Homo-oligomer: A and B are copies of this chain.
Amino acid sequence: MSESTTPRVDGRSLRAEAQRESRRAEILRTAETVFAAKGYHGTRISDIIDAAGIARGTFYLYFESKQAIFLELIEQLLVELRGNVVGVDAGPEAPPIQDQLVETVSRIVRSVTEHKELTRILLREAVGLDADVDKKLSNFYLSLHEFIRYSLENGQRLGLVRDVDTDIVASCILGSIKYLLEERLMQDAVADPERIGRAVLDYNLRGVLA
């Protein structure tokens, strides 16, 4: 008994675990498509299980509820997006700061483009759905806001940034990028991330005044 059990258990549980994860991922992926196509409110569990080709109960084997799977998708996206935002490297051999900033914006644009549909939902329906989601979202934005503000203050210390209200300006910078993405997403046209990155940066740095 033991000679077959031990390896079996290991082998099986490993394989099983892997399979479980892949199944879960598959459902998650399917759900992303369905949510993207129909929106959160328009998506019924039936839509997801039909698309995934699984039984009703199977869904609940992997996810607690409709809200839970949605929350997970949103979280995934938030983590990925947040990961794109990193501080600039001020070292002597680092690339020019402006280039680094452009690169950050470009990275975000690329991420968003990859998950265009889900981001669309994130921006549209995720807000106000559920306290949990709302919390995550506002934490996400807050974290970005704080990051930007911190960077501005740093810049001020270095004499690179002039004397502005960093709280309000951080919101403005965040908003300008966010809206740009929103708008472009709606129009299915996020072309040339770098060009957009440069334009945004130029605007944020120097304003519009001649």
Identify the A interface with B (CB < 8 A).
39-41, 121, 123-125, 127-129, 138, 141, 145, 152, 155, 159-162, 164-165, 168-169, 171-180, 182-183, 186, 196, 199-200, 202-210
- Report whether A155 and B208 are in contact in the complex, using a CB–CB cutoff of 8 Å: yes
Which DSSP category, helix, strand, loop or mixed, fits chain A's interface? helix
Q: Smallest Cβ distance from A176 to chain B, in angstroms?
A: 4
A183 contacts which chain B residues (CB < 8 A)? Answer: 141, 145, 171, 175
- Can you spell out 23 A-B residue pairs with CB atoms less than 8 angstroms apart? A125-B127, A155-B208, A159-B210, A160-B209, A161-B208, A162-B206, A162-B209, A162-B210, A164-B203, A164-B208, A168-B180, A168-B199, A169-B199, A171-B183, A172-B176, A172-B177, A173-B208, A175-B175, A175-B178, A175-B179, A175-B182, A205-B208, A206-B207
A176 contacts which chain B residues (CB < 8 A)? Answer: 171-173, 175-176, 179
A161 contacts which chain B residues (CB < 8 A)? Answer: 208-210
A204 contacts which chain B residues (CB < 8 A)? Answer: 172, 207-208
A40 contacts which chain B residues (CB < 8 A)? Answer: 128
- Report whether A209 and B206 are in contact in the complex, using a CB–CB cutoff of 8 Å: yes
- Report whether B199 and A203 are in contact in the complex, using a CB–CB cutoff of 8 Å: no
